[in-house]
Amino acid sequence: MLSRLAILVMILAALGSCGKRRKAAPPIPAGLVELCGNPLLAGVERARITESNPACGIKNPVEILYVAGVEMTPHPVLNCTTANALATWVDSAAKPDVAAIGRRLMKLRVGSHYACRTRNSVRGARLSEHATGNAVDITAFTLDNGEVYTIKDGWNSPVFGKVMQKAYAQACGIFGTTLGPNADRNHLDNLHFDVASYRGGPYCR
């Protein structure tokens, strides 16, 4: 027969393991599938993307409709590395930061995703991370009360600016590159996230 002490130890261990369980992911909407082996990603698997420029394209692209229950509009087409980083950011930063002010994050507006182009579409520049599905740009947050905060107008707003800035800061390290309104004029209206890797660590501006 177990002693009272042994029973108490077992109860405490059980409680501790419960506290470490990962929270359940939102259900996958009908007609969509789980993407990249990640229950936080729901959407459609796409056929391989090839371009006349062989440096562009995605071998196994995914079209993402929901990330951790948050609708993405328009639907970004990315590779799985970028999609998984986006899921981590939305679930661990963007959603909790919005929840901290008593609201729910319902949608994220996407400004750019896969596109076979150069950086900032400048002729002769290096190929953009967007050209291989490594990048996604966020331009606005939509809340459960219908309010929409664009990066351009909301970044320095007294109501939502701190939420945006905190969520953006937390993206550094989840992504290899983060560029926002304080980086340069090309990012005054968007948060650029990509999974490029640098010897010196993440590049965050």
12 assigned to some structural domain: no
Contact 106, 142 (CB under 8 A): yes
**Domain-embedded: residue 19:** no
9, 126, 136, 143, 161 from 168: Cα distances, Å: 42, 25, 13, 17, 11
User: CA 101, 102, 104: angle at the middle one, nearest 5?
Assistant: 105
CA gap 166, 72 in Å, rounded: 20
Examine residue 15 and state whether it is found in any structural domain, yes or no: no
* Geometric angle at alpha carbon 42, from 37 and 48, rounded to 5°: 70
The answer to whether position 4 is within a domain reads: no
70 belongs to a structural domain: yes
- What domain count does the chain have? 1
Residue 69 has pLDDT above 80, yes or no: yes
Query: What is the rounded distance in angstroms from the CA atom of residue 48 to the CA atom of residue 151?
Result: 32
Cis peptide bond prior to 74, omega within 30° of 0: yes
Judge whether 11 lies within some domain.
Answer: no
pLDDT tens, residue by residue, 8-52: 334 344 444 344 344 678 889 888 999 999 999 999 999 999 999
Domain range for 44: 25-204
pTM, rounded to two decimals: 0.87
Q: What is the pLDDT of residues 158-194, one digit of tens each?
A: 989 999 999 999 999 999 999 999 999 999 999 999 9
